[in-house]
Amino acid sequence: MSDIRQIHIEEWDLNLLKVFEALHEEGSASRAAVRLGLTQSAASAALGRLRRLYDDHLFVRTGRGLAPTLRANELKPIISEALDKCRQSLTLVSGDRAGFAGRSLSLGLSDDFELAVGKQIIDLLGEEMPGLRVVFRQTHSRIVEDMLMNREIDLAIASGGFTSPSLGSVSAGEGQYASLMDVQFAPDFLTLEGFIQRPHLLISSGGFIGMVDEVLMAKGLKRQVKASTTHFAALPYLLLGSDAVATIPLHAARRLAAFHPLRLLETPLEMPAYAVNLGWRRDGLRDPAIAQMKEVVSRILRQFDWQAS
């Protein structure tokens, strides 16, 4: 594809950058076209122009759509930053409320936080930032820093993971744990002996070890993990009709028990509390929309009841 030439920005349609961002985030020319209000042929033609501009294939076809090349992944944070600055300038001239129309901001969080505070975030942003679309994207403490630095997300809720000097964070609460069981099989309370003897469902990004295992190990004890999943939202369908127990963050356990025939039980172990943090890129706060969304989400997290009653 390579040919040596001098490139002048005046020769190129900067709308191509929007197409690049949509292709990278959607992983499909058809979905990118829908997002941008283009025909699929127009999106494909734009991709061709992008390939000539950057002298790279940028996206290659796989069985699941378009996968970015190494060059595309290198370009993504640079292009997204440039587009964010353009969006920021429009917010400044349009006024805060009018400037949110058509804006999309992404919030990284695991689905336990999404279950607990997602609806409140949607509702309050709808009131205070009308026209804004919030996009929830899955993350956790091991990958949240990279997602923020690569501009895959604008803000994030996680229990740690904000160590870079380019990131800011604040503790918004302290989480605890609770156990869940099908009401048909759940006792009135769990003893440590009964807890260990029951089969367990583990929710973990790694799939093998959880906080419960670490606490039990320190006591010279071990539990039987029957199965593992990465999704808290799957728990009701995995627990119902089973005598298994799942120990998860209290905020998610409360939400699941409120909508499913599950019993919330105190875990018969001294489980360590953990910080609930809100994180952001420091330079991102130059964008009034991100700054205001940060304040809205921070307020919700501060007011949320993280503690056991």
Do 46 and 109 share a domain, yes or no?
no
User: Taking the CA of residue 207 as centre, how many other CA atoms within 13 Å lie in the half-sphere pointing to its CB?
Assistant: 3
Q: Would you state the structure tokens that stand for residue 236, as one six-digit string?
A: 């009701």
Residue 292 maps to a domain: yes
Which residue type occupies 184?
A: Q
Evaluated on CA atoms 259, 265, 269, 275, the torsion sign reads positive
Do 262 and 287 share a domain, yes or no?
no
Whole-model pTM: value is 0.77
Residue 291 sits in a domain of what CATH number?
3.40.190.10
pLDDT in tens, 62-120: 878 889 999 999 898 888 888 877 776 766 665 554 557 778 899 999 999 999 999 99
Pairing of strands 274-281, 155-158: antiparallel
Residue 88 maps to a domain: no
Backbone angles phi and psi of 284, in degrees to 5: -65, -25
Average pLDDT over residues 194-220: 92
pLDDT in tens, 12-50: 778 899 899 889 988 888 888 888 888 888 989 999 999
Residue 85 maps to a domain: no
12 dihedral zone (left: phi>0; alpha: psi -120 to 50; beta): beta
Boundary (domain end) residue, out of 20, 47, 75: 75
Nearby residues of 276 by Cβ (< 8 Å), 6 or more positions away: 113, 157, 159, 171, 172, 173, 174, 175, 301, 306
pLDDT in tens, 173-199: 999 999 999 999 999 999 999 999 999
Do 250 and 231 share a domain, yes or no?
yes
Pairing of strands 155-158, 167-175: unpaired
Do 259 and 201 share a domain, yes or no?
yes
Residue 285's domain comprises 95-173+275-303
Evaluated on CA atoms 293, 138, 203, 123, the torsion sign reads positive
**What is residue 15's three-state secondary structure?**
helix
Contact in structure between 200 and 225 (CB atoms under 8 Å):
yes
- What's the rounded Cα separation, in Å, for the pair 79 and 72? 10
Percent residues over pLDDT 90 in the chain: 63
Do 296 and 228 share a domain, yes or no?
no
Do 122 and 182 share a domain, yes or no?
no
Number of domains in the chain: 3
Do 281 and 263 share a domain, yes or no?
no
